[in-house]
Each structure stands twice: as structure tokens, then as C-alpha cells.
Structure 1
């Protein structure tokens, strides 16, 4: 098998670009969003159009190579040797049909651009809070947002997917044309082709209210308890609890610099008055260090969330959890402090529930979330050699979450150690395996989230 020759030949046939390990530009093209990941694919392809994608897939298959799509480098961690990495930057279309409440988005488009296009429509997409996250990748992997408790995950909102399949054929997949494949694409989409565009439903959201409250660390356990009490009382309110060790860095404002703080973020689909009443119990926890709640439009979602938007190095850990009362909240907060001594930077807990539990699994593999809540944590800026060697920082959290066990998760939230079996039940995994064996028996198409 003439692998090198075939890939070299591919370069001359593409309208786009191809980078091999010895080429200028390869090191930049292969970068992951997580700068602690040193991924080295067999080649990086930047197709200009659908025929380019077809040629990439067919050449890779003939050469014994896999194909993995990674728009911005998120969810990177698996070994990419023997894999052609596809960057679909050229697929940059966006169209909004406000009358029919649908959007069409190319595989190279990030959420920030989509949210700007929704300005003034009175409609929202079930977008992630970071504007630099790719719309298509997020959607295909489930897509949990602060709108999830009101409207569910993003994946079930997908109405059509255009892709090049493992045989190199271009296909438009809908519920009418191929319901079984669309079921799988709604949550495990990276396994079945190089997606070039998706279409999805939009939702009502003319008025939005949200922001964050920051408290001293000694209020953390009471705040976490209150978050789950409010979650039970307000099933449509988006909620996220966090703890953060802020560095003593000159660029940070004084209330944050060198401090450990607890926080709660919330998002309400509705006006400011009704939103403020729904978070009153959170404000009663104590005097906040900061309060950023305000009314806003969908185009300002990223500014309200205020997440970092630049690549950085980190190591993540995640788990499902059954939720928190006063006793278990105190245990988790203590675990955070114990883990901080080992280098832990941040902790996040997101209650699920609401619309996330009621979806029809026959419509989408990611139709609903079984677990009551998600727990995630990060070590920021570990040295490149330390990826995967930060287990000491996560051990206290693993012990704590063992007292609040749960199963099921959302693929977009899981760390790189997880497989799709951590998100979906055995019946769904078996159905996925059967479909993968039928549609891609050679295993040409690879995904960040693997089948176990």
C-alpha cells in the first residue's frame, strides 16, 4: 500500500490545502485548542469544497488512513497517527429563516457569528456560551447550553445534515431520507462522515435575563445547596455553580486577584423582573463580590457568560453526579480545597433536569440526559509533558462524587477519557455499533468521542 505516495498525490488534486509533517505550516495547522495536547496527524487537510472532501475521504480510505474532522481543535486528545485531520474552515455559510424558525450553518462557523445573525429576530439557538466553539461540532455531540433546561439539548433540534460519508458519497440526511442515520447524527455525529453543513430549529427568546453572582469561598457550600433548591423549583432556569482559584496576576481586577471564589451563573428566558424573582434565593446566600445580572439579547450571550476565548493549556476531568444537598455540598467544597493543594484550578456543577429529561430517544440518541447533574474540573496551564499526569488533582473530586453517583452525560461536556458509553445507555450503544458496522465497515471516519 503506497500511503505516502497517495497522500502526496492528494495535494495536487485539491483546490484547498494539505499539510504533511515536513511541510511549512504543518505545525500551525495541527494545533489543538488545548495547547497541552501535542497532536500529530498523518496530514492536515483544509478542503475548499465538497469535491475536496470527497477526494480526501476516498484517498484516506485507499491509503489505510482514518479521517477525523476537528474545526477549531476542541475535544482533542486521541492519538492522530494514521489519521488525516480535516479543518472545514471554508464551509462558512450562515442563513436564518426567521419565518420558519430554522438556521442553516456551515461546518466552519463558530457560535459567535450565528448569535450575531439572530439579533433582532426574537429567536434563539441552543448555543454554547463560548463564541469560539464550532456550531456543527457542538451540535453533533449533543450540545448542552444554559437554555437546555428550558428547551433541551441542541442535537435533537437538528433537522438536516449534509456530509460526505465513509464511501466518499455526498449525502443530505433528513428524517425522510435516512431516519436511522439522522438519529445517530443527533449526538454521535462525528462517527459517520465529514459534515459540511447542518440545519436546525430555532426557539422563542425575545427577552433574556442572566449573568453571574460571585461570593467568597466560605459561602460555597450554601450556594451549591441553594443552586439545587432553585433548580428543583425552577425547572426551566439555566444554572451553573462554580469555584475558581484566581491567580495573583496583574491583569485581574482586585476583587478576583489571588482569591478563591464561588459563583453561580443563571439564564432565564423571559423579562428581567420575572428573572430576578427566580434567582432571589441565590442572592440571599450573602453579599456578592460581583453581580453581573442584566437583560440582554441573544447576540450578547457570550458577553454575559464572559468565558475565555483564547486557546490555552489545560487538563480536564468530568463525571455525572446525582446532585447536592447541604451535606454532600459541604463534601464537594472540601474536596475542591483538597484538590486545589494539588493544582486544581476550577470546578463546575451544572444541574440537568427540566426539558433535558423528557426527550424521545427514538428521535435522537441525545434526546435526553439520564444524570441529574454534571461535574467538571480543570487544571489550567499544565506543562505539555504533564497531560494525563494530573490525577492527584482530581482524586479528591472522584472520591467526593462517589458519594453522589449517577450515569449518563452529554458528550460535549465530557473529558477526553470518556467514551460514548459514558453518555448513552447500552441499547443505544449497541444500535450505534450496528449502524457504524453497516455504514463504515472499514472504520474510515473517526471521532473524538469513540465507541467503547
Structure 2
């Protein structure tokens, strides 16, 4: 049998769905979050249960196909030729044990739903701020939360993982069952099996204050400098500093079209008075043109962050940075301004340090203790096909080369990057050894391969 006939046979076997090339639904089903990535998998499966997953893995192995997972299409990184793409939307279990401080989430659960479930518990998860990001995907890929400087990287909060291996065997593992595999799952991504469920530790957070500030470009240097000083002084404060250039186009708010602005987002776990005192250190240097700072509970995190939730075409560049002094702030503003003139849309610098850099417990996770001062991520929106992406990123790449920060997190990697761009050789070798043990045939593919 050919792979095409085997996939047709598989479709009749599944309780869930299987979309194949040539089907009317194929174009929509294959589309990732980043619309500029042209991925063309051999099939797109939406399994209804574990039995469906086992059938998919069995068929893929027999047909010589790989299998990968993209819950919502984030992290798409290649064309997926010869790969069955799984969308685990129906794995939608969600439960919170308030007494044990544990979140249990199926592989189809997004952070928006999980955070709404946590509302009123006085507990927070180390969540992404975009409600459309998947809980499992963020956690196993390392992840970074605005709560991470206080409580650590998301991957290090993983308690247990349920997954189906390439042979179709179901496993539920914790440190007591297989410490080395758990180490790999905490930052190694989807290399080791099809994750169906995860347990994450929860942390105290009954009072939260935060939101965003936006400033005109003319005061960007003073704002960025003040924000970096605040990050150094308050290692538990979640802080993201950046700049944005809004196109003179209908996609942008009318009052911001064609404008460049500086942005500061902050999240403080604690009372409003303390949080406002932190924010006042930035507002004291310039008057914001927008201020969304407020007290809130965890269920409103996504609304406070107000990140884009619709897929769009973009190119990305991510890197770790060190040495964020006053000179860096000046160079950052200059580099962004030059990049924006060539099409650069956004550049954010997420403060690291605090619990992220804590070595205590780092040996239990591949993601380890990241020591960089910050992680920078830049984007070029590709609505205009004439944009020269390399030219737009060039000033930021030059800046990053002058302030290298070493290893980054997989979730901040650029499109086309591999785990070799995030981890050192020792970590990669350990991950490869675990991969060889649990999937010697290489059936399970990851959006971030080892190298």
C-alpha cells in the first residue's frame, strides 16, 4: 500500500477526523498561526481519543511518515512534508485542585480557558499572556510568563505528563517514574511522544496589578532607561519593554497609524499601591499616551495584556541579551528607529533574572536556569510583500551582537531555528539520548528539532 491509501484507510478507522490533500478543508486545516509559513503535511488529524492517536501512530509508522503536534499552529517551523499533523482540540480536560495547588489540562486547552478556570482561586499558573496559546505547548517548550521572575520558568512547574509514545503505549510520568524523561519534557518540546495531558504547579496570586503603558517615540530613550532600572531593582516584577511602529494602514488604530511608540508592560503579584509605585518610576519620566494599568484577577490576564489573537503573516527574530545599561537603551531606540524605516514592526525585551536565574531545582529541567538579563523578540508583519526582512532586522541583529546573552528559551527562537540555537551541547546530547530511548525510529517530530 502507498501512504495515500493507508491514510484513506485510517480515515475510515478514526472516530475523529482526518483531512487529506485535495480535500476542501485541507487549506484551512493546514494553516498555522504564522500565515507566512507554508506547511503542507501529508494529513491533518483531529483525534477524538487515545485510541485514535494509537491508530494514527500505527499507520504513520507503517507508511514511513512522521507525526507532529500543533494545537493552534503556534511554533510552525517547516513544510511538514511526509508528516501527519495532529490538532488535539478534543483533549479538553481541565481541572484545578486548589488544596494541592495543581492545574490539570488536556492537550487541547488554551491559556485563556485555563486562566478563567483559575479565577477566584487566589492561585496563578505560569501562563502566557496570549489566551490563544496552548497550555501544554508553552510548558513543554520551556515557556516564559510575566510571573516567571517571581516563580520561575513554566517548564519547571511541570509535575507530570501523560503521553502516547511512538509504539502507541500510554505513559503517565513524573520524577518518581522517570526523572530523565521528565527532565527532557521540561523544555525539550514535543520530541518524545504525543502529549495528551499535563499537570502544572500553581502559585499564590490573589492580588495582581499590571497592564501596559505607551509613550511617544520622542521620549523612548528615557522610558526604556527607566524601565531597565526598574527591572534591575525589582527582580520579581514581570516587565516587558519595547517599541512598536504602526503601519499607516487600516489594520492600525486610527490615532496610531504611521506612529512609532515605546511600550512598557508590567505585572506585579501583590497590592495595587506597591504596583503603582513601581509604575510611577516610569511615568515620572514621561506622560503616557495610553495607560491600562489596573488591579485584576488571573482570569483577566489576557484582557489586560491585550495581545493580538488573530493569525497573521510575520517574520520573527529572537535572541538573549546581557548588559542592559543606559548605553543599551540609547542604542536600542536608535536601532529600532532605523529598522522601522525598513519595515520592522515590533521589538520587545522581556526582563529575565529573579527566579528564572535561580539554580535551585534547575537540574530537573532541560531549560535550566537562564542567566541572560533579557530576551528580545522582534517581528516584521508581512502584509507588504515588498519588505526586505533581512534589512528590517539588520539593526537589531547588529545590536544583539554587541550585547550577547548566550542561551535563549525555545519559545523565543526565530522561525527556522532549532533547539541547538537555545541549548548547549551537553543539553542537546542528553535530549538526543532520551529521544533515542523513547522513539528510536524517529516517528515523533517536533516543531523545534534538536539541530
The TM-score normalised by the length of structure 2 is 0.97
Within a 5 Å distance, the mapping from 1:299-448 to structure 2 comes to: 299-359=299-359, 360-382=361-383, 390-448=389-447
Rounded Cα–Cα distance in structure 2 between residues aligned with 1:285 and 1:307: 25
Judged with a 3 Å threshold, the aligned counterparts in structure 2 of structure 1 residues 79 and 252 are, in CA distance, closer, same or farther, namely closer
Contact 2:210/2:265 (8 A) holds in 1: yes
After the TM superposition, which of the residue ranges 274-283 and 194-203 deviates more from structure 2? 274-283
**Which blocks of at least 5 consecutive residues in structure 1 are unaligned?**
none
Q: CA deviation at 1:130?
A: 0.5
The farther-off stretch of 296-305 and 351-360 is: 351-360
Q: Distance in 2 between matches of 1:405 and 1:362?
A: 24
Q: CA deviation at 1:35?
A: 1.3
Residue range with higher mean Cα deviation, 247-256 or 186-195: 247-256
* CA distance in structure 2 between the aligned counterparts of 1:260 and 1:278, rounded to whole angstroms: 24
Partner of 1:43: 43
Written as runs of structure 1 = structure 2, the 5 A alignment for 1:16-415 is 16-249=16-249, 253=253, 255-359=255-359, 360-382=361-383, 390-415=389-414
Would the aligned equivalents of 1:255 and 1:289 in 2 still touch at CA under 8 Å? no
Deviations 1:229-262 (A, max 9, x none): 1111100000001111113345755542321100
1:210 and 1:356 map into 2 onto residues whose CA distance is 20
1:41-90, Cα deviation, whole Å (9 max, x unpaired): 01111100001001111211111111000000111121200100000011
Q: Unpaired runs of 5+ in structure 2?
A: none
Q: Is the 8 A contact 2:77 2:448 kept in 1?
A: no
Give the Cα–Cα distance (whole angstroms) in 2 for the partners of residues 33 and 216 of structure 1: 30
* Number of aligned residue pairs: 450
How far 1:33 sits from its partner (Å)?
Answer: 0.8
Q: C-alpha separation between the residues in 1 aligned to 2:160 and 2:85?
A: 24
Q: Distance in 2 between matches of 1:136 and 1:247?
A: 34
Identify the residue that residue 12 of structure 1 maps to in structure 2. Answer: 12
Contact 2:182–2:365 (Cα < 8 Å) also in 1: yes
Cα distance in 2 between the residues matched to 1:314 and 1:213: 24
Give the Cα–Cα distance (whole angstroms) in 1 for the partners of residues 203 and 410 of structure 2: 22
C-alpha displacement of 1:401: 1.2
Q: Offset at 1:313?
A: 1.1
Please state how far the C-alpha of 1:411 moved relative to its aligned partner. Answer: 1.0
For the residue of structure 2 that corresponds to 1:44, the secondary structure is strand
Contact 2:38 2:78 in 1 (8 A): no
Distance 2:245 2:385 in 1: 21
- Per the TM alignment, residue 422 of structure 1 is displaced from its structure 2 partner at its CA by 2.3
Partners of 2:195 and 2:414 in 1: CA distance = 23
Q: TM-score, normalised by structure 1?
A: 0.96
Q: Decide whether aligned partners of structure 1 residues 108 and 383 sit closer, same or farther in structure 2, where only a CA change above 3 A counts.
A: farther
Report the Cα distance in structure 1 between the residues aligned to 2:386 and 2:396, rounded to whole angstroms: 23
SS across alignment from 1:190: coil
The answer as to whether partners of 1:47 and 1:90 remain within 8 angstroms in 2 is yes
Shift of 1:443: 1.0
Q: What's the CA shift for 1:423? A: 2.0
Offset of residue 384 of structure 1: 7.5
Distance 2:436 2:397 in 1: 35
Give CA-to-partner distance per residue, 1:184-209, whole Å, 9 cap, x none: 11111300011111011110000000
- 2:450: which partner in 1? 451
- Could you tell me how far apart the structure 1 residues matched to 2:417 and 2:330 are? 27
Contact 1:155-1:367 within 8 A present in 2 as well = no
The more displaced of 120-129 and 4-13 is 4-13
* SS of residue paired to 1:200: strand
The 2-side partners of 1:383 and 1:214 are apart by 25
Q: Give how far 1:450 is off.
A: 1.2
